[in-house]
Amino acid sequence: MDAAFAMSTRLQIFALFVNFFFPALAFLLVCARTAGRLSARQFAMDDWLVCIAMLMSVAQTAISYFFIKTNFVGVPADQVPQHDPTEGLIWAYAVQILYNPILALVKSSVLIFMTRLFGQKKNVRRLLLWINVANVSQMVAVFFAIVLQCLPVPFNWDSSIRNGRCIDRRVLYVSTSSFNIVTDLLILGIPLYILKGLRIPRRTKIALFFVFVLGFL
């Protein structure tokens, strides 16, 4: 696998840039948020969840580096040397395990934050609670589905194991992605809808709109 780490292309360099730049940006923002919440003595459950997700994201960033290199991401097929794909498949499996819990923890943090802001209305509070229950349930279910997608587990990277079997991964990935997109849209749309009808100072409303619209990024 030394050839994998020695080889690079412009596309792979770009992939590595994306892999490191956005987690680094997120890390700075989380540090700034944490410092502000601690100084104001308002550090709460939503902050804990974001910090845990950030630590997991740091681990995923490191794992993704090895995934990109060992799977020759960004390298044209005709330039990929003969190699044993086992290591690359192991890193791909590790990336999958961390990915969904990070998303779910961040969403749960946002939902808890919105409950603090808009939870005075019973119908809104109930809606946010049920979305969070669905989000956490999906996190647990998908975690075990990813871990146990192939049995025995080493069959994920070693197809020579006798009697190994895997679920239909296309169904797993499409269903998981669909759920994530729906919950993303709900989490982004609910606060904007609520803010639109609030009777609060215009400057405050604009500031809150700006904070939540950042989620689209």
The two tokens of residue 153 are 């587990």
- Residue 80 binned pLDDT confidence (cut-offs 50, 70, 90): confident
Cα–Cα distance list, 45 to 42, 48, 52, 96 (Å): 10, 5, 11, 26
How many other CB atoms sit within 10 Å of the CB of residue 48?
A: 14
Residue 1 has pLDDT above 70, yes or no: no
Per-residue pLDDT, averaged over 176-187, amounts to: 89
The pLDDT of residue 58 is 96
User: Could you tell me which residue, 206 or 26, shows the higher pLDDT?
Assistant: 26
Pick left, alpha or beta for residue 74 (phi over 0 → left; psi -120 to 50 → alpha; otherwise beta).
left
How many other CB atoms sit within 10 Å of the CB of residue 142?
A: 22
The pLDDT of residue 212 is 72
Whole-prediction pTM: 0.85
Q: Where do the structural domains in the chain lie, given as residue ranges?
A: 2-216
pLDDT in tens, 138-162: 999 999 999 999 999 999 999 889 8
Residue 90 near residue 157, CB atoms below 8 Å: yes
Residue 214 has pLDDT above 80, yes or no: no
**E-assigned strands of the chain?**
150-151, 165-166
